[in-house]
A and B are shown apart, each in its own frame.
Chain A
Amino acid sequence: EDKVVQSPLSLVVHEGDTVTLNCSYEVTNFRSLLWYKQEKKAPTFLFMLTSSGIEKKSGRLSSILDKKELSSILNITATQTGDSAIYLCALCKGGGADGLTFGKGTHLIIQP
C-alpha cells in the first residue's frame, strides 16, 4: 500500500527561524512528489519534484527530492508569520490518473 509520512506533525518556531519539513514515502511506480500549502481554505501548489527535477526553489522556499532515500524536504528560510499554514506532501504515481496520495501534513506556526 502506498504511504506518505510527514514529520513533524506540528512545529512552532519564531519569526526569522529556518525550518525543515520532512516527507518520506513508499510507492510503486513513482511519478512525482508535490508540496502544497494550505492556509484557511484550499491547498495551493508550491513545488513538483520528479526524477528529472529533484530540486526546486522559489524565494525563501526550496525543496529537494532524494529518490535513493525515498524522501523529500521542504525548507523555509527567514520565516514570516504569513508562512503559518499546513504543508502537505503528496505523491503522484504511474500514469497520473489515480489521484494524489497525501500525507497528514505538518502544521507550522510562526510566532512573532
Chain B
Amino acid sequence: NAGVTQTPKFQVLKTGQSMTLQCAQDMNHEYMSWYRQDPGMGLRLIHYSVGAGITDQGEVPNGYNVSRSTTEDFPLRLLSAAPSQTSVYFCASSLGGANVLTFGAGSRLTVL
C-alpha cells in the first residue's frame, strides 16, 4: 500500500500565482485533512473532509480551497499565493474521525 501520497514534494511560487497540492490515499479512509507546519507554530489544520462531497474549514483556512469529489483524493488549492503561505504542508487521513491520522511525506512550499 502506498498510504498517503502528496505531490509535489517541493515547489517555489511567485506572489500571486496559484497552484494545487495533490493528496491521494489508497486506504479507503473517509476522513482527510490538510495541515501546515511552521517553525515554532506546530501543526495547524487548514481544511478537512469527512467524506466525498463534504468539506469544512479548520483553524487557518484563508487563502486555501479544497474539494472532495472522490474518497481517494483531496487537493488543496492556493488561490493567490502570498509569502505568508511559505510552509510545509501535510495531508493526513484516517478511517474515522481525526484521531489516528496517517500523514503524507509533506510538500515544502516557498512563496517569493
Q: Which residues of A contact B (CB under 8 A)?
A: 4, 31-32, 34, 41-45, 48, 88, 90, 92, 95-105
Contacts and interface: CB of A to CB of B under 8 A. Distances in A.
Given A41-B106, A44-B103, A99 B42 contact: no
B100 A48 contact: yes
B81 interface: no
Nearest to A44: B103
B77 interface: no
B101 A100 contact: yes
9 contacts: A32-B99, A42-B105, A43-B101, A97-B56, A99-B45, A100-B43, A101-B45, A102-B44, A105-B42
B42 A88 contact: yes
Contact of B103 (A34, A43, A103, A105): A43
Measured as residues with beta carbon below 8 angstroms from the partner, the interface class of chain B is 20 to 34
Contacts, number: 66
Interface of B: 4, 31, 33, 35, 40-45, 48, 50, 56, 58-59, 90, 96-106
A92 B43 contact: no
A48 to B, nearest CB: 6
A96 B105 CA distance: 23
